[in-house]
Amino acid sequence: MTRTKIIKLVDGEKGDIIKITALLLDGVMRRRLLDLGFVNGAFVEVAQKSPLGDPIAFRVSRTTIALRKEESGKIEGELIINGE
Amino acid sequence: MGNEYYRIALVGNPNTGKSTLFNALTGLRQHTGNWAGKTVSLAQGSVDFKNKTFQLIDLPGTYSLFSNSKDEEVARNYIAFEKPDVTLVVLDATSLERNFNLALQVMEMTTNVIICINLIDIAEKQGIEIHEKRLMNLMGVPVLKISARNKLGFPMLLDTIDRIVNGDIKCQSFQLKYPEEIEKKILKIEQQIHEIIGDTVSARWVALRILDGDESLINEITKQFKLRGDY
C-alpha cells in the first residue's frame, strides 16, 4: 500500500512535485491563485526557496510564480515526487 | 467613400504574443518585451481589410478579468463597457489549461469572440497537437491556430473577423453552467439587474460578479451610468 502524504506547499522542498488537493483560503486571493493555475489536481513543482524560506517559487502550468508563506501555507497537496 | 470602421480588442495572458500579433497586423512598432505587465496603456493601430478598417486595441495582458489589479480593471472595463465589435482572445498553445480560464471569462461577458491559439509553432515542436475544430464545436466561437511571430494564419484571422462583423458567422453566446444553488441565485437577481442596466452589459455576468461580492464592478457600473447620464 502506498500512503499518500498531504503537505502544505510552504513545507515542500526544492524539487518536490505536489498535486494540489485543497485551497484553504477565500475571496480575492483564492480567485487570484486559481487564475494563476493553482487549481485542484494541478501539479506544482517547488522551483526555488529563498534563503530565509519566504517567498518560495513554484512552477505551475509552465510558469514560475513566487508565493509568500501566507498563501503557500494555505495550499495543500499530495506529495507525488520527493525532490530530495 | 470611407471604410466601415470596427473595433477589435486583443486580450490574453501575459506573454502569449498579443503585442507581437498586434504589431504584425498593424505594422506599428509598439514595444514588445518578454516580461509581465508591460502593456500598461492601450495601444491602438489599424489594419485595412477588404473595404473595412479594423481598429485594434491591445489590452494589458492579464490572467483574469476580476479586477485584482489596475491592468485587469482596464481590460475588463474595455470589454464590458466599450463593447468592442469583436474580441480576440490570444492563448498560448503550450499552456492552454490556464489560458482557457481567461477565454471563458471573456465569453461570459461578450458574444463576438475569436479564440486565437498562438505560438502554435512552439507547441508543435513540443509534440502538442491541438484539435481546433473540436474546440470550435465545444466553445461555439471560431478557434484559429496562428503563429504571430511567423505571421501564420493571418489571412484566415482577418477573414474570420470580417465574417463576424458582416454577420456571416454567428458566435454562440457561451454559458458556463454553475451548481444549482448558484444558478438559482443568478435567476433570482438577473431579471432585476437587467431592468436596471438594460442590454449594455450581460446581466448574467453582472449577477455572477455580484454573487462573488465584486464591489469594484458595482462602483464601475455606477460610474459608467453617471457618465452616460442615463442613471
Residues of B in contact with A30 (CB under 8 A): none
Task: Write down the pLDDT at residue B48.
Answer: 93
Q: Which residue of B has its CA nearest to A31?
A: B66
Helix residue ranges per DSSP H, A1-84: 27-36, 69-72
Best probe of the B interface among A29, A30, A32, A35, by most B CBs < 10 A, is A35
With CB atoms and an 8 Å threshold, state whether B63 touches A36: yes
Please report, for chain A, the start and end positions of each structural domain, with discontinuous segments joined by +: 6-81
Task: Write down the pLDDT at residue B108.
Answer: 93
pLDDT at B38 over 80: no
Of A32, A37, A61, which is closest to B68 when you measure between CB atoms?
Answer: A32
Identify residues of B whose CB sits under 8 angstroms from chain A CBs.
Answer: 63-64, 66, 68, 94-95, 97-98, 101-102, 212-213
**A2, A6, A9: which is closest to A58 by C-alpha?**
A9
Task: Write down the pLDDT at residue B208.
Answer: 93
3-state secondary structure of B164: helix
Q: Which residue of A has its CA nearest to B15?
A: A63
pLDDT at B163 over 80: yes
State pLDDT tens for residues A28-65. 889 889 989 999 999 999 999 998 889 999 999 888 99
Rounded Cα–Cα distance for residues A39 and A19 (Å)? 9
pLDDT at B24 over 90: yes
Task: Write down the pLDDT at residue B226.
Answer: 83
Of B68, B98, B102, which is closest to A28 when you measure between CB atoms?
Answer: B68
State pLDDT tens for residues B67-87. 678 888 889 999 999 999 999
Interchain CB contact of A26 with B (< 8 Å): no
Best probe of the B interface among A61, A62, A64, A65, by most B CBs < 10 A, is A61
State how far the alpha carbon of B126 is from the alpha carbons of B29, B31, B135, B167, B179, in Å.
30, 28, 20, 37, 36
Interchain CB contact of A73 with B (< 8 Å): no
- In Å, how far is A82's CA from the nearest CA of chain B? 25
Rounded Cα–Cα distance for residues B209 and B193 (Å)? 12
The matching CATH number, chosen from 3.30.300.30, 3.30.565.10, 2.30.30.90, 1.20.210.10, for A6-81 is 2.30.30.90
Helix (H) or strand (E) segment spanning residue B188: helix B180-197
Residues of A in contact with B63 (CB under 8 A): 35-36
Average pLDDT over residues B175-188: 93
Mean residue pLDDT of chain B comes to 89
With CB atoms and an 8 Å threshold, state whether A37 touches B68: no
Average pLDDT over residues B143-150: 96
Per-residue DSSP letters for B25-62?
HH-------SSTT---SPEEEEEEETTEEEEEEEPPP-
Task: Write down the pLDDT at residue B205.
Answer: 94
The whole-model pTM stands at 0.86
With CB atoms and an 8 Å threshold, state whether A35 touches B64: yes
Q: Please report the ipTM that was assigned to this predicted complex.
A: 0.74
Portion of chain B with pLDDT greater than 70, in percent: 92
Range name among B24-28, B112-116, B148-152 with the lowest pLDDT average: B24-28
B194-199: Cβ within 8 A, 24+ apart: B197/B221, B197/B225
Domains located in chain B, CATH noted: 4-166 (3.40.50.300), 180-228 (no CATH)
